[in-house]
Structure 1
Amino acid sequence: MSLSDLQQKSGAELVVADRRYYYYSLPEIEPLIGPIDRLPKSLKILLENLLRHLDTQSVQPDDIHAMAAWLKTGHVDREIAYHPARVLMQDFTGVPAIVDLAAMRAAVAELGGEVSQVNPLSPVDLVIDHSVTVDQSGHEEAFKQNVFLEMARNEERYSFLRWGQQAFHRLRVVPPGTGICHQVNLEYLGQTVWSEQQGSRLVIYPDTVVGTDSHTTMINGLGILGWGVGGIEAEAAMLGQPISMLIPDVVGLKLTGHLRSGITATDLVLTVTEMLREYGVVDKFVEFYGNGLVHLSLADRATIANMTPEYGATCGFFPVDEVTLQYLRLTGRSDEQIALVEAYTKAQGMWRYPDDEPVFSSRLELDMSTVEASLAGPKRPQDRVKLSQVPHVFAQFCHQTECLSSSEIPLNHQNVQNGAVVIAAITSCTNTSNPSVMMAAGLLAKKAYEKGIKTKPWVKTSLAPGSKVVTEYLNAAGLSLYLNYLGFNLVGYGCTTCIGNSGALSEHVEQAIQSRQLTVAAVLSGNRNFEGRIHPLVKANWLASPPLVVAYALAGNMSIDLDHDPLGQDKSGNPVYLKDVWPSSTEIAEAVQKVTTTMFRQEYAQVFEGDASWQSIEVMKSPTYAWQEHSTYIRHPPYFKGMSITPDPITDIKKARILAILGDSVTTDHISPAGNIKQNSSAGHYLQAQGVDIKDFNSYGSRRGNHEVMMRGTFANIRIRNEMVPGIEGGMTRHIPSQHQMSIYDAAMLYEQEKVPLVVIAGKEYGSGSSRDWAAKGPRLLGIRAVIAESFERIHRSNLIGMGILPLEFLSGTDRLSLSLTGDEWIDIKGLSHLTPGQDISVILTYPDAQKKEIKTRCRIDTHNELLYFKNGGILHYVIRKILSGNP
C-alpha cells in the first residue's frame, strides 16, 4: 500500500449546519489496513493524526499499519511522530519557554539566520495562573490585596510576556486573575474537534494538545487527547517539530456502579490513583470505559483525568459521549460546534456507545459503589488513607519524624500542637473544576454556621477557585457568605497553595512550630503534596475533597477521627459531628442546578483583555528582546553560547564525579523547587547581592526566567536528602577529593573550574511530579552529563534528553546500594560514540581503593528522534540548526 493510496482513500466530507468539512476518514482506510473498529478511542485519535501527517519523512505508511497491527496483541514496538494541534502553557513554565524562544532568535541572528523563522507554527495559549500568592487570607480584602501584590512583584515578567505576545505569531496570553490554565482549557479553549482552513478546504480533526504543566491531562475528560511535556519539548512542538513517542500500551479501566451518597469525586480519584499507581501504568495510556461512565459528570471525569500524573500514566482518557455534549452546551460552546463534535466522532468511530468493549493491552475494573471517604498523604498523592485511619497513619508518621504523638496532647485549648492543621486550602485545578464538590464545601460551611462552630484560630484558610465562574455559582447558590464566615474568602484565581504559594503563616504559629519543632499539617484540595512543596514548615500534607478541607479547618488537628470525634460544639455546648454538617446528595444536586451557561459566556467574553493594571503595562515592540543587564527576573540564558552550525561528535564521559546520590521517588520539586527562596540559600545570597530585599525574593517559580537563580536553586529543596551527606536535609554535598561539605551549587562550580564532568545517582521513579523543565536545565548548567537511576518518570526523562543529559537505567539487581556507592568514586561511561536507542552502556566505577567494577546500564534514549536531539546537545539546538539549514 502506497502513501498516495492512503491519502486518496482517506479523504471524506461531512456537512454540518450547512457547512462542508473535509476530514481524514478512518473507516475508509479499513479495506487497506484491516479492521480497526475495536481500537481504543485514544489510539484512534493517534491513528488519525498519523494519517493526516503522512509525508514519508516523519510519518510513513508503515506507521499506519503498525497501529492496525496493535489490535492483535495490544502492543507493538514502533516509534511514531505525533503532531499535536496546539500547545498550552502556564506562566511558571511559560516564561522560561518564551525566554528560550527569545534566546533562540538571538542565536539564529548571531549565526546569520532569519529571526522570524523562530515563530510558533501551532496555536499557543499561555494562561497566567501560578504567580498569585496567599499573602492575605481570611478577610474580604484578601483578593484585592493579593492581586495588587502579584502585579507589583511580577510587572517585569508580565511586561516580558506582553512583549512575547506581540513578537510571536499565534501566541495568546490569558492575563492574571482569570483562572487556572487547565480549567480555562476545559471551560473555554478546548474544542474537542478542531477546524482549520487549509487552502480551499475547511479541515476538521480531533483537538489534541500538549502542555507545559503535567496536569494538562485534565482535558482528557472532554474527549481531548492531551498530556504534559517539558517546556523544552513544548517549545519544539510550537516550532513544528513532532513529539517522538512509542505507540503506547493502553490500559482499560472499566467503571461500573455509582458512588454512594456522601462519597465525592475526590474520593474516587484518590482510589483510582492508588489502584493505577500500584498496577503500574508509567508510559501507558489509560482509557476509561464501562456503563458506570453515565454516572460521572464531565467535571467528575475531568477530576480523574487531572490526576493522571499522580497515577503515572501519559493520559487518562474519557471518550466523547452525550455527557461531553451536555458540558459543551453548559459552558457556552456554539450549537454548530456541538453538532460538529457529535457528527465527526460518530463518523470516525470515536464516539462512546453503551457496552463498548475495545481491545486493550490489559484491563482493570472498579465498582464505584465500593469507594470510601479518603484522603491521601502525608507526602505522596498515591498514598490513599481511609478517613477513619487518618489519625493512625499520622501517628505513625509522627513516630517516624520523632515528634510526640498528637494523641497524647490535649486539644481543647488555643495552643498550636503536633498535628495541628495550619493550612486548609481549597485550591488547585483538581477539584475547583467540579461544581458538586465546591457546592458541597459551601453547604458544609452553611451547616457549620447554623450550628455555631468556626475554624480553629491557628488554621490559615483560603479559597482559590479555578475560574471566575466558581464565584458566580457559589454566589448564586448563596454559599459564599458561609465560606467567608469560616475564613474561606476568595484569595485569587490561580494555583496558590498547591504550587507552594501558600504565603506566610501567622507569626505566633510559625514561632510555635520552629521553637517546639512541631510536626504540623496542611489539608488542601489539590493534587500534589510532596514534602517541602506546600510550606517549608509543614511536614505532613494531605489531599482531600473541598468539603473535607472545610471539615479539617473546623477540627483543627489530624489526630481527630472525623468519623467518631466531634468537630466542635454548637451554641448549646453539644458536640457537632461531621455527619451533622455533611450535605445530602439532594442538597448538592439542587445547588449544582444554579450553574448556568450565562455564567460561562459572561466570564469568558473578554478573556484575553485583562484589567486596567494589565493593560497599562508598557510593551517593547521589537522582534528580538532587549535583555536587561541588571534584571533579576529575565536573563539571557547561556544554552547557545558558542554554538556551531554543526554539532560536535558525542564522546565518552571520563573521570566524572558524583554530585549527589539520591533515593527513591525524588521529584522534580526536589530537583528544582517552585516555592520559597530561603534567605541563606545560594539563590538567596545571589538575590541579596543583586540588591533584592528579602521581602521581594518572590518564589523560584516566578524567577524561572533567570538562570542564575535557577542554577542555584537546583537540588536546593529543603527536604532533599543526598546520601553523600547522611543525616542532613537540603541541597548539600561533599566535594571530592577535598571532602569539604558545601552546597550542591558551590560544589558544581568548583568542579567546573577543575573541568570535572558530573553524574547523579538515583533510585526508582526519578523525576516524578510536575513537568518542570528547570529540573533538566538546572542540572545541565551545573555540568551534569548523565543521570543513572533505577527508573525514570516519563516527562523528566524526556526533558533530560532535551537538554543533552544522558539518562541511564540500572539493570535489574543493580542499584546504588548493591554497588556500595558513597560518592567517592570515579565514573567512566563508555560506548557513547555509537549510541542507539535502548542499548546497553558500560559504566566503570573506580572506588577510592582503586578497585574497578564494570556494570551494564540501559540507555533510556528510547527513540531515534530523541537520539537526534541528544546528538545535537538538546532539542532546541537541533531546531536552531534545522532553521539555519532552511528546513524549519
Structure 2
Amino acid sequence: MNPFEAIREFEADGTTYKIADLTVLEEQGLCDLDDLPVSIRILLESVLRNVDGEDVTEDDVRGLAGWQPDVSDADIPFQPSRVVLQDLTGVPAVVDLAALRSSVERKDRDPTLVEPEVPIDLVIDHSVQVDYFGSEDAYDKNVELEYERNSERYRALKWAQNAFEDFSVVPPGTGIVHQVNLEYLGRVVHEREQDGENWLIPDTLVGTDSHTPMIGGIGVVGWGVGGIEAEAAMLGQPITMTLPEVVGVKLTGELPDGATATDLVLHVTERLRQVGVVDRFVEFYGPGVSELTVADRATISNMAPEQGSTISMFPVDEATLEYLELTGRDPDHIDVVQQYLDEQGLFGEQNPEYTEEVELDLGDIEPSLSGPSEPNQRIALGDMETQFRKLLADEVDDGDLDEKYEIEMPNGRTTEFGDGSIAVSAITSCTNTSNPSVMIAAGLLARNAVEAGIDVPPHVKTSLAPGSRVVTEYLEESDLLGDLEALGYHVVGYGCTTCIGNAGPLSDSVEDAIDEHDLWATSVLSGNRNFEARIHPKIRANYLASPPLVVAFGLAGRVDIDMEEDPLGYNPNGQPVYLADIWPDQEEIHEVMTASVHKEMFQEKYAAVTEGDENWNALEAPTGDVYEWDEESTYIRDPPFFQDFPIEKPGVDNVEDARSLMTLGDTVTTDHISPAGPFSTDVPAGEWLQEQGVEPHEFNTYGARRGNHEVMMRGTFANVRIENQMLDDVEGGYTIHHPTGEQTTVFEASQRYRDDGTPLVVMAGEEFGTGSSRDWAAKGTDLLGIRATIAASYERIYRDNLVGMGVLPLQFDEGDTWESLGLDGSEVFTIGGLDDGLEPMAELTVTAERSDGSTVEFPVTAQVGTPAGVRYVEHGGILHYVLRQLLTDS
C-alpha cells in the first residue's frame, strides 16, 4: 500500500532504489520534519513504509507524524529491520522457536510456518568465564572450558543457523555483541532487496540485551527487549509501543584533561536518573557533540538502560562517516548512507523540539567511579575513601574496619586482605572496550607503573576481556599489551566475563578470609552493571570505573584509598608512587591512537567473523526442520509453554484468593529475579541437577542453563542477596508458606501453592525489574504460578516481558506502597475488575484480607499500555498469540 504516495524511486551512487520519502508527509501538511526529533522520524519511516491497512494503518502514520513535545497516548506499531541476540538470551529464544515448530508439527501442520521474517544476528559472548587469569595461556584454557561446559548449547545454535533463513551466528572468541554490532553489523542504512526491488531503509533493531542502544552512537535507533518480544518481532509481529517522549541533552564545552569517556557516562547516568527518563527516548545535540569521538558517543549510548532511557542516540554526521570508514565499511556504502540521509533530512546537526531539555557542560566532568551496587551511584575519585568508610560504618556493626588479615595465596606469596580489599580488577564490557582512548590509556598507565616499579598485590584477580579482537591488535601494535600482562592483565576471553557475572572463582584463601571474618570484599571493573551479587556472590561492593582507573585500583589493591593523596604502592627503593606519577596525558593517548588503530585491523578481523575456530567447526549440530529434543538433557529442554496447546485463547478473569509469594523492597533487579551467575548445591536448582546425576563442578551458571526451564524456574527469585520482607534478616530465595507459616524456598512454596490451586502475587517497591533484559525473569515468574505483580513502579523491559508472558504488572497509585497500606504479605488477595475483560491501563481494585478478617482495599493500574498488550495477556503471552495466528491462518 502507498496511501500517501510517499513510496518513490531514489537514485544513489548510480543505483535506483525505492524509499519511503518522509518529505512527502511534510508536503502534505502532516508534519514539520525539522521539529521532529530524529528518532521519531526514523520510527515514522518504518511506519510509513509498512502501511498494510491491518497491522499498520494510515492513522498510525498520522499519529506518529503529529508527534508533539507534550505527547499523546497514541500507539506505534514498529517493525525493526533486524534483531540482535546474545547467547544467554539467544539460546532460550532458539529453544522457544524450536518449541513453536514442535507444537506446529504436533498439530499436523508444516513446522516451517515458524520462520523469522527479519535478519537475525546472534553473537556468542556471554558464556566464557574467567577460570584462568594472569598467564599467557589463560585465554586458551578458558576457551577449552567454555566448550566443555557449553557444547550442547552451541550445537543448538548451529542447528538454528541451518534450520532458519537469515539466522547468522558469530562464534565464541570473536567479541562482545554490542561492540561487534557497532564495529561490523551496524549499517546505518540498509540496502535491501524486497520482492525483487532494491530498497534503502534506515538500520533499526531490537536486541535481547538491554545495552542494545549502544548502536545509537552511530545514529541507529535500537533498544533492548526481552527474548519473548524479540521472538515475536522475528516472526513479523510489530512491536507496539506508546508514543515516546523525547528528552534532548545539550552538550557544551569539552572534556578536561584527566577526564575520560567513562567518567562522562557516569555523570550522564547520574544526571538522567535525577531527571527521570524511564520510557523516554534521549537524543544528544549541541556543540559538545562534535568534541566527542564516535567511540565516546557509543560509550554514553551503551549505558542507556542505566540512565533509564529506552534509547540514547547521537546524530549521524561527518564523524560518523569517518568512523564507518575507520572500521572498514565499504566506501560505496558510506556514500549511499550520506546520500540517503541527506535526502531524508536526517544527516548532521539537528535542532528539533523536545519534551524536555537538559544541559551538560563537558568541562564539569571529573574522574569518578560508581557503586557499590548501582551504576548511577557516582562517586568523585577524591571522595572514594570517605564514601567507602561511610558505607562500612553503616553496614558493619562492630570490629576494626582497618584490620587486615595475612593470607597465603596459591603461588606461595602472602598478602594482607580486609574490608575494602579488591578481590577482582577487571577490564571488561562493551561500554569501554569499544573505545580505544580508554583502552590505550589503561595500557599507558600500566607501562608507566611497570617502569615505576610497582605491581598488583597477589590477592587481586586481574583480567582483560577485550570487546573485539581489534582491541588486542592495536594494544599489540602499540606495545602496550605486554605492559598490561606484566601487571597480570592477560587476555582471558572475548566476551562479557566479569560484567555479566562470569568473574569465575576466587582463590580459596581469599574466599576463606571473606567467610571467616565476614569481610566486605570489593571489585573494580570497567563494566556497566554492578548490582548486588552480580559480579561474585562473595563480593559485597562493586565499583564501575574507566579502564585506567581499574588498573590504578588494581595496583592499590583496595578501594579505601585517597587516590589524590595516598600512594598506589612503593618501588623497590621504598619510594612512594602516586596516581599522578603514572597517569598518561591526553596528547600521548591521542598520538598512540593515531599511530596504532587502522582500518585494515577491522577489515582483517571481521573478514571471517562467522567462520569460528577449530572448536566451533568441530561441533556436530542436529539437522532437520524440527529440533530433536533429548529428554535427559540438563541444558536444552522442550519448555511447557506450548505443549498441549489449545487453539482457543484463555482470556482474563479476576484473580481470586491469591497469596503473596514474596514481598520486596525498592530496586529489585532482574539479577535478583533471575540470576545469571553460579549457584550452590543447597538451592533448588542445584538439588535438581544433582538428582539428574550432574556433579557440582559441572553446574555451570544459571545463564548457561537458560535453555532448561527446570533449572530456571528453580532459580527464579533465588539470588543470594534478595531480601523477602516477610522474613527478618534472611537473604536468598526463601519465603513463608501461608497459611502454615513455614519458612521454605520460593520454589518449594510455589509448588505447594500450585498443588492447592492457589494463584500467587508478588509485591514490590520502586523500579521493580531494573537491569538486564532477561526473558527468564518473566518466564520464571509465570512458571512459579504468579498471576500478577504489584509494584510502585517498573523498569520498562521487565514490565513488557511480564505482559509478554501473560502476567499482569499492576502498579500502586501514586504515594501508595504495600508498607503504607499496612500489608505484610500474609494476606489473601483478590484482584477485581477483570470479569468484563482487560482494557489498556485499566484501573482495577485489589482487596487484601488479613487473618483476623479485616480487609484493605486499594486501587491499582494495569501497566498494559496498548491494545496489543491486552491481546497478549488474553492469549497467555505474546508467543501464544503468534502461534494461534499461525495455526489459524495456515
Q: TM-score range by the shorter chain?
A: over 0.9
The whole-number CA distance in structure 2 between the counterparts of 1:500 and 1:11 is 47
The whole-number CA distance in structure 1 between the counterparts of 2:665 and 2:828 is 20
Q: Deviations over 1:692-732 (max 9, x none)?
A: 11111100000000000001100000000000112100000
CA gap of 1:281–1:775, structure 2 versus 1, over 3 A, is same
The whole-number CA distance in structure 2 between the counterparts of 1:699 and 1:67 is 43
Shift, 1:407, TM fit? 6.1
TM alignment of 1:753-768, pairs within 5 A: 753-768=755-770
Alignment pair present for 1:408 and 2:402: yes
Specify the alignment match of 2:775 in structure 1: 773
The whole-number CA distance in structure 2 between the counterparts of 1:653 and 1:77 is 28
Instruction: Give the aligned residue type for 1:408.
Output: D
CA gap of 1:259–1:695, structure 2 versus 1, over 3 A, is same
Q: Deviations over 1:159-194 (max 9, x none)?
A: 111111111111111000000000110010010001
Instruction: Give the aligned residue type for 1:521.
Output: T
Alignment pair present for 1:393 and 2:387: yes
Shift, 1:406, TM fit? 7.5
Specify the alignment match of 1:613 in structure 2: 615
Instruction: Give the aligned residue type for 1:881.
Output: R
TM-score of the superposition, structure 2-length normalised? 0.98
The whole-number CA distance in structure 2 between the counterparts of 1:23 and 1:831 is 47
Specify the alignment match of 1:491 in structure 2: 492
Shift, 1:74, TM fit? 3.8
Specify the alignment match of 1:843 in structure 2: 846
**SS in structure 1 of the partner of residue 32 of structure 2:** coil
TM-score of the superposition, structure 1-length normalised? 0.98
TM alignment of 1:236-385, pairs within 5 A: 236-353=232-349, 356-385=350-379
User: RMSD of the alignment, in Å?
Assistant: 1.3
Instruction: Give the aligned residue type for 1:96.
Output: P
Alignment pair present for 1:55 and 2:56: no
The whole-number CA distance in structure 2 between the counterparts of 1:120 and 1:677 is 34
Specify the alignment match of 1:119 in structure 2: 115
Shift, 1:403, TM fit? 6.2
Q: Deviations over 1:580-619 (max 9, x none)?
A: 0000001100111110011001101111010111111112
Alignment pair present for 1:881 and 2:884: yes
Specify the alignment match of 1:197 in structure 2: 193
**SS in structure 2 of the partner of residue 885 of structure 1:** helix
The whole-number CA distance in structure 1 between the counterparts of 2:651 and 2:599 is 58
Note if contact 1:403-1:519 (Cα within 8 Å) is conserved in structure 2: no
Specify the alignment match of 1:515 in structure 2: 516
Specify the alignment match of 1:731 in structure 2: 733
Note if contact 2:128-2:146 (Cα within 8 Å) is conserved in structure 1: yes
Specify the alignment match of 1:139 in structure 2: 135
Instruction: Give the aligned residue type for 1:65.
Output: R
Shift, 1:200, TM fit? 4.1
TM alignment of 1:102-181, pairs within 5 A: 102-181=98-177
**SS in structure 1 of the partner of residue 535 of structure 2:** coil
**SS in structure 2 of the partner of residue 812 of structure 1:** coil
**SS in structure 2 of the partner of residue 829 of structure 1:** strand
The whole-number CA distance in structure 2 between the counterparts of 1:238 and 1:557 is 46
**SS in structure 2 of the partner of residue 842 of structure 1:** strand
Note if contact 2:382-2:563 (Cα within 8 Å) is conserved in structure 1: yes
Specify the alignment match of 1:472 in structure 2: 473
Shift, 1:404, TM fit? 6.0
Alignment pair present for 1:457 and 2:487: no
The whole-number CA distance in structure 2 between the counterparts of 1:416 and 1:242 is 54
TM alignment of 1:653-672, pairs within 5 A: 653-672=655-674
Instruction: Give the aligned residue type for 2:56.
Output: V
The whole-number CA distance in structure 2 between the counterparts of 1:329 and 1:464 is 25
Of 210, 213, 225, the residue aligned with 2:221 is 225
The whole-number CA distance in structure 1 between the counterparts of 2:313 and 2:112 is 37
Structure 2 unaligned residues grouped into runs of 5+: 407-413
Instruction: Give the aligned residue type for 1:821.
Output: L
Note if contact 1:406-1:419 (Cα within 8 Å) is conserved in structure 2: no
The whole-number CA distance in structure 1 between the counterparts of 2:663 and 2:194 is 52
Specify the alignment match of 2:533 in structure 1: 532
The whole-number CA distance in structure 2 between the counterparts of 1:200 and 1:489 is 50
**SS in structure 1 of the partner of residue 711 of structure 2:** helix
Note if contact 2:2-2:51 (Cα within 8 Å) is conserved in structure 1: no
The whole-number CA distance in structure 2 between the counterparts of 1:153 and 1:410 is 37
Specify the alignment match of 1:856 in structure 2: 859
Structure 1 unaligned residues grouped into runs of 5+: none
The whole-number CA distance in structure 2 between the counterparts of 1:467 and 1:534 is 21
Alignment pair present for 1:44 and 2:41: yes
The whole-number CA distance in structure 2 between the counterparts of 1:404 and 1:633 is 45
Note if contact 2:64-2:76 (Cα within 8 Å) is conserved in structure 1: no
Specify the alignment match of 2:562 in structure 1: 561
The whole-number CA distance in structure 2 between the counterparts of 1:494 and 1:67 is 38
Note if contact 1:12-1:22 (Cα within 8 Å) is conserved in structure 2: yes
Specify the alignment match of 1:821 in structure 2: 823
The whole-number CA distance in structure 2 between the counterparts of 1:14 and 1:69 is 25
Specify the alignment match of 1:434 in structure 2: 435
Shift, 1:450, TM fit? 0.3
Specify the alignment match of 1:13 in structure 2: 9
The whole-number CA distance in structure 2 between the counterparts of 1:846 and 1:411 is 53
Give the number of aligned pairs. Answer: 880
Note if contact 1:74-1:250 (Cα within 8 Å) is conserved in structure 2: no
Specify the alignment match of 1:811 in structure 2: 813
Q: Deviations over 1:666-709 (max 9, x none)?
A: 00000000001112111111111111111111000000000000
The whole-number CA distance in structure 1 between the counterparts of 2:842 and 2:573 is 73
Shift, 1:646, TM fit? 1.1
Q: Deviations over 1:453-486 (max 9, x none)?
A: 0001110000001000000000010000000000
The whole-number CA distance in structure 2 between the counterparts of 1:463 and 1:813 is 46
**SS in structure 2 of the partner of residue 430 of structure 1:** helix
The whole-number CA distance in structure 2 between the counterparts of 1:410 and 1:538 is 16
Instruction: Give the aligned residue type for 1:462.
Output: S
The whole-number CA distance in structure 2 between the counterparts of 1:144 and 1:701 is 22
CA gap of 1:745–1:407, structure 2 versus 1, over 3 A, is closer
The whole-number CA distance in structure 1 between the counterparts of 2:427 and 2:669 is 23
Instruction: Give the aligned residue type for 1:131.
Output: S
The whole-number CA distance in structure 1 between the counterparts of 2:53 and 2:394 is 58
Shift, 1:68, TM fit? 3.0
The whole-number CA distance in structure 2 between the counterparts of 1:681 and 1:772 is 21
Note if contact 2:218-2:298 (Cα within 8 Å) is conserved in structure 1: yes
Q: Deviations over 1:389-418 (max 9, x none)?
A: 111111121122216688634699822111
The whole-number CA distance in structure 1 between the counterparts of 2:544 and 2:286 is 27
The whole-number CA distance in structure 2 between the counterparts of 1:650 and 1:367 is 51
Q: Deviations over 1:27-47 (max 9, x none)?
A: 122121142222111111011
Specify the alignment match of 2:543 in structure 1: 542
Of 736, 749, 752, the residue aligned with 1:750 is 752
The whole-number CA distance in structure 2 between the counterparts of 1:546 and 1:698 is 28
Shift, 1:4, TM fit? 4.5
Note if contact 1:839-1:859 (Cα within 8 Å) is conserved in structure 2: yes
CA gap of 1:462–1:404, structure 2 versus 1, over 3 A, is farther
Of 26, 29, 50, the residue aligned with 2:22 is 26
Of 801, 804, 821, the residue aligned with 2:803 is 801
TM alignment of 1:581-730, pairs within 5 A: 581-593=582-594, 594-730=596-732
The whole-number CA distance in structure 2 between the counterparts of 1:372 and 1:240 is 46
The whole-number CA distance in structure 1 between the counterparts of 2:732 and 2:472 is 40
Specify the alignment match of 2:873 in structure 1: 870
